Amino acid sequence: MFKALAPFLLLVSSGLQAQPSLHTDLPLNYLAHVDEQARNRPLVIFLHGSGSNEQDLFELREELPKDYNYLSVRAPKTMEPDHYQWFAKKGEGAYDGDTSDLKASGQMLLAFIEKARAKYLTDASNVYLVGFSQGAMMSYEVALRHPEAVGGIAAMGGKVLPVLQAELTPDESRRTLPVFIGHGTADPIIPYHDGTEANTFLKTLALEPEFHAYPGVGHSISALEVQDLRAWLERLNP
């Protein structure tokens, strides 16, 4: 569930610069590309997938709006050196998460968002979670339980976990939450129908997600999806 950007990296490799420094001053370790003096800049927080790390999505910022702040978070659970996850997979059937892991990681991510907002001088309405695979699942986990904490989420190659679906009912506080869903039709890890089911489920909660299918794309992020993500972010902050 890592190497999210395998096709995309070919497009940006020529622009890669020196290895960014890992920051450890907030509840989760992270990389940052920010203007610390600017107030109320949109803040994008990247959430990587299982088995990956904070480097995986960070290059996306090169193709996204330039006047945003960008953080890329390391998941809290170590699988092996340089490989991390947000939660352990539960059982052998349909992809679900260990409840205790989800709760602990969700609370850590929520605390990270709050402290990042304070450090980088922005409001909750300007915070956007951008997650891939397990990171997309965490975007749903935090934003659907705590819609007041963020301004929107982008879930790429992910799903709404069964444990979360079972606990949510329509709520007026989340119905205006902007949601971008992107999924490759040839995804062998998190099947395409998990993306369409997430879209359908969110509509039962009175949300209006923006859904994008990417024909022939597997468990990765295509250049077209990055373009669509950029357009979505720009529409939220015209």
CA end-to-end span of the chain: 33
Residue from 50, 52, 105, 133 carrying the catalytic annotation? 133
Query: Are 209 and 202 in contact, with CB atoms under 8 Å apart?
Result: yes
Helix (H) or strand (E) holding 236: helix 223-236
Q: Active-site residue 35, yes or no?
A: no
Query: Are 8 and 1 in contact, with CB atoms under 8 Å apart?
Result: no
Q: Active-site residue 219, yes or no?
A: yes
Q: Active-site residue 187, yes or no?
A: yes
The gap from C-alpha 74 to its chain's centroid, in whole angstroms, comes to 12
Helix (H) or strand (E) holding 153: strand 152-156
Residue from 23, 183, 212, 219 carrying the catalytic annotation? 219
Give CA angle at 51 (114, 222), nearest 5°.
85
Residue from 187, 194, 220, 228 carrying the catalytic annotation? 187
Active-site positions?
133, 187, 219
